[in-house]
Amino acid sequence: MVITTFFEFSVNFPKDFLIKLLINILIKLLITFSINILTNIQNEVIMQNKSNSDNSIYKTLRLFKGINDGEWGDLKNCGCLRIGNYDKNELIFHQGDITFETGIVISGSVNIENIDLWGNVSLLSKVSESHVFAETYAFTGEPLMVDVTASDNSRILFLNLKKIMDKSYSKKSWQSKILNNMLFISMQKNRILSNRIFCTSPKTIRDRLLIYLSNEAKKAGSQEFTISFNRQQLADYLNVERTALSKELGKMRDDRLIEFHKNKFILKDN
């Protein structure tokens, strides 16, 4: 019908003009068709790569230490796992939510924040790649007392703890492995929370900074290191005002205690 309409429309035009017009139309259609095919192929390749990555990612995660390919496939088949993608600053869990899923950061990072009634934000921790969050709430079923937000574009693997704890899976070899791994991770996180308590216990900002920076230097094994927080996040973590923090950092540099540029620090020997 389109061709018939074209020829009816073309009766009063020169033959050469019509041939060129038809060729241009066919070329544009061919280009559009080719682009669509290439786009579909590219999307299929991306999805296949993501699928392959998701199938092997568990081998790098502490939570799934000791899990073999067969057990991983069994976990997927029982519906215990799902993948979520989040944009920077997108909310993953909201304060008051009830969840039975723990999240594992595959890529990107996640902030655990407490926001009071007046909108004041306290950064409790930053969860980096391969680390776990919300496991306590997933085990207990209690409402979250924190917000969980993607601090970068992030890809999250969710594990439903309620499902894996079901009695019907009690004879599955992966159940005890995951629970043992979760216990180990929880002990590590308790140590991290203890470090934050140490950092926020001193009364002065300088003392809080010295403890925090000393701990980071020990972790890096060097007096020159990079922290994961920007200024606002560091202020929230230490529970101080950003302006006061920046002022104190300047004083510490003047006193030749530290050197820094953005989030890179050097502890100086006195």
Residue 1 makes CB contacts below 8 A (sequence gap 6+) with none
pLDDT of residue 14: 63
Task: Give pLDDT tens digits for 32-79.
Answer: 766 776 666 665 544 455 554 555 677 788 899 999 989 998 988 888
Amino acid (1-letter code) at residue 138: A
Cβ–Cβ < 8 Å for 22, 15: no
Task: Give pLDDT tens digits for 158-183.
Answer: 999 999 988 888 889 999 999 999 99
CA 129 to chain centre: 7
Cβ–Cβ < 8 Å for 172, 121: no
What is the rounded end-to-end Cα distance, in angstroms, of the chain? 87
Task: Give pLDDT tens digits for 57-67.
Answer: 777 888 999 99
Task: Give pLDDT tens digits for 187-216.
Answer: 888 888 888 889 999 999 999 999 999 999
In terms of pLDDT, which residue wins out, 15 or 137? 137
What predicted TM-score, i.e. pTM, was given to this entire model?
A: 0.67
